[in-house]
Amino acid sequence: MHKPAIRLIIIGDEILSGRRQDKHFSKLVELLNARGLRLHSAQIISDDPDHIETTLKASFATDDIVFSCGGIGATPDDQTRQAAARALGVDLALHPEAAALITERTQEQVGSQTVDMSLPEHQQRLQMGVFPVGAEIVPNPYNKIPGFFIHNHTFMPGFPVMAWPMMEWVLDNKYAHLHHLDNQVEYSFLAFSLPESRITPALQQVESQWPTVKAFSLPSVGDNRRRPHIELGVKGDPQACTAALAFLKEQVQQLGGKLTPIAE
């Protein structure tokens, strides 16, 4: 079965300016890993409507699974809903399920009195349920105001407390058939007293000898707790990875490296 790439788009000037720190990347990786899936790539873009539209138009042209965080509110700097509609060449319309959920949430907030959704402030709230035509809602257990799903793209608020349950819902309700399709493993170990250039040919040999394995090397200059080292590893087919890992450890020792640090 073809497995589409999974990508993350984070929208917001506040991330690019440093006023807020992104938390979605690590959470999505965590949720994917728990389901035997992997993140292919991630990007952070500005609130500029043209930039969002251009990014989404290119994204919709793929068969990728995409999670987009940010910009689906109803304030002037929230432009994702509009840009998505333009990128798809469709109109925007108030989604009836979204309208019902927003009305329900508004009623909860005003208490026992009957809510009048014709009031300007409530009409503004209903804008958060205006989605590209053809979109489905994505439930928001935090405050009921939904995100939306269209063409394998999930659009969520920037707030982690809302976005993360939405990610999980989509992964389990839209893509459960992709979970744990591949029996993939990842193994690694630390190598000391060895320059990366010396072990590189062995990494290349791993991928040549075991085509179902990808080798990696992550050098570190060390810190107060650990001497300089290289994290060497393999990921892919379990049986091949076991053999490749043993080969790499043997190569490290043959090339003069150590599997444990030399005491100071």
Which pLDDT score is estimated for 75? 87
- Quote the CA–CA distance of 149 and 154 in Å, as a whole number: 4
Between 120 and 54, residue with greater pLDDT: 54
Cα–Cα distances (Å) from 88 to 57, 153, 248, in that order, read: 7, 12, 49
- Quote the CA–CA distance of 204 and 108 in Å, as a whole number: 61
The domain spans of the chain are 6-178, 185-254
Decide if pLDDT at 262 tops 70: no
pTM for the whole structure: 0.84
Please, what's the b/e burial string for 204-229 (b: 16 or more CB within 10 A of its CB; e: otherwise)? eebeeebeebbbebeeeeeeeeebeb
β partners of residue 219: 230
Strand ranges (DSSP E) for the chain? 6-11, 41-45, 65-69, 92-94, 130-132, 136-138, 147-150, 153-156, 185-192, 213-220, 229-236
Q: Give me the CATH topology for the region 185-254.
A: Alpha-Beta Plaits (3.30.70)
For 260, other C-beta atoms within 10 Å of its C-beta total 9
Between 14 and 3, residue with greater pLDDT: 14
Q: What is the pLDDT of residues 74-124, one digit of tens each?
A: 888 899 999 999 999 999 999 999 999 999 998 888 777 788 888 888 888
- Among 206, 199, 217, residue whose Cα is nearest residue 243: 206
User: Average per-residue pLDDT in the chain?
Assistant: 93
Q: What is the pLDDT of residues 195-238, one digit of tens each?
A: 999 999 999 999 999 999 999 999 998 777 778 999 999 999 99
Confidence of residue 8 (pLDDT cuts 50, 70, 90): very high
Confidence of residue 135 (pLDDT cuts 50, 70, 90): very high
Q: Which amino acid is at 192?
A: F
Which pLDDT score is estimated for 264? 46
93 Cβ contact list (under 8 Å, min separation 6): 130, 131, 133
Which pLDDT score is estimated for 100? 94
Answer CATH for 6-178 from 3.40.630.30, 3.40.980.10, 3.30.420.40, 3.40.50.150: 3.40.980.10
